[in-house]
Amino acid sequence: MKLTDFKALTFDCYGTLIDWETGILSGLQPLVEKADIEPSRDQILGIFAQNESAQEVETPATPYSQLLSIVYKRIARTWGVAVTNEEANSFGASIPDWPEFSDSVSALQYLKKHYKLVILSNVDRISFRASNTRLQVVFDAVYTAQDVESYKPSPRNFEYMLRRLKEDFALEKSDVLHTAQSLFHDHVPANRLGLASAWIDRRHAEAGWGATKRPPGTPTYDFRFDSMAALVEAHQKELLA
């Protein structure tokens, strides 16, 4: 299997193209300062992961910015901190402030010349607009949790994406390489649907699972890269081979 075998790259956005852990940590900092504890970076990301995933299961039709506000209140309760609606909503509205990874823009601009580029993200459409501006590329399609009314790792999101890709672009599953950081949200369901995947292991230098839950079992993937830049380099080498 080669990167050049595919016609479309479908991307998780947050954690893969946008540095959501930096954004999450910054957005939760006011809550950390209120709490009478000194959690580590990994503890903050871990409690976010547990509460975010639980809320996505409980309220799958809630748009992501609103869901983040609820997650903020859940974490506050866990830490015994009183917060206002305004504080929680500020966290929910922080997605546009989450920075892109340094290699995302150049990688996407290169890949746009060779593939259809598609987003499959646990986000709402309004929040994604600001992230899309940061990424400086026109995606061929954007499929969000808001469109599907469920959150990854639900197979519904992937089934929706594959159906739309076939209807709108005549792309078969074998034409698609799903490209993502999260083993939990993306590679586990990709495995179950027989969808080829590339792991962008943004956390390769860090222990633990960061802002995602531990994946069940042992997910597999067809390619692994430390960064989007490394994926681009591998693609360029294939073209020269």
The whole-angstrom separation of Cα 179 and Cα 161 is: 13
Domain definitions of the chain by residue range: 3-19+100-240, 21-97
The Cα–Cα gap between 1 and 84 comes to 52
Which CATH number applies to 3-19+100-240: 3.30.110.30, 3.30.230.70, 3.40.50.1980, 3.40.50.1000?
A: 3.40.50.1000
Which residues are annotated as catalytic? Answer: 12
C-beta separation of 67 from 192 below 8 A = no
- Sort strands 197-200 and 141-144 into parallel, antiparallel or unpaired: unpaired
DSSP one-letter code for 25: H
CB 190 within 8 A of CB 158: yes
Its pTM stands at 0.94
Name the helix (H) or strand (E) containing 75: helix 64-79
Cis omega (within 30 of 0) for bond into 153: yes
Cβ of 150: how many Cβ atoms within 10 Å? 18
Which two structure tokens, joined as six digits, stand for 43?
């503890």
Token pair in block for residue 57 = 């299961």
Q: In tens digits, what is the pLDDT along the chain, a chain of 241 residues?
A: 999 999 999 999 999 999 999 999 999 999 999 887 888 999 999 999 999 999 999 999 999 999 999 999 999 999 999 999 999 999 999 999 999 999 999 999 999 999 999 999 999 999 999 999 999 999 999 999 999 999 999 999 999 999 999 999 999 999 999 999 999 999 999 999 999 999 999 999 888 898 998 999 899 999 999 999 999 999 999 999 8
Instruction: Give pLDDT tens digits for 35-90.
Output: 878 889 999 999 999 999 999 999 999 999 999 999 999 999 999 999 999 999 99
3-state secondary structure of 216: coil
Geometric angle at alpha carbon 219, from 213 and 223, rounded to 5°: 115
Count of beta carbons in the 10 Å neighbourhood of residue 41: 12
Residue 130 CB partners (closer than 8 Å, separation 6+): 95, 96
The C-alpha atoms of residue 154 and residue 175 are separated, in whole angstroms, by 21
- Cα separation, 124 vs 69, in Å, equals 13
d(CA 62, CA 151): 10
CATH number of 21-97: 1.10.150.750
**What would the two tokens of residue 223 be?**
């390619």
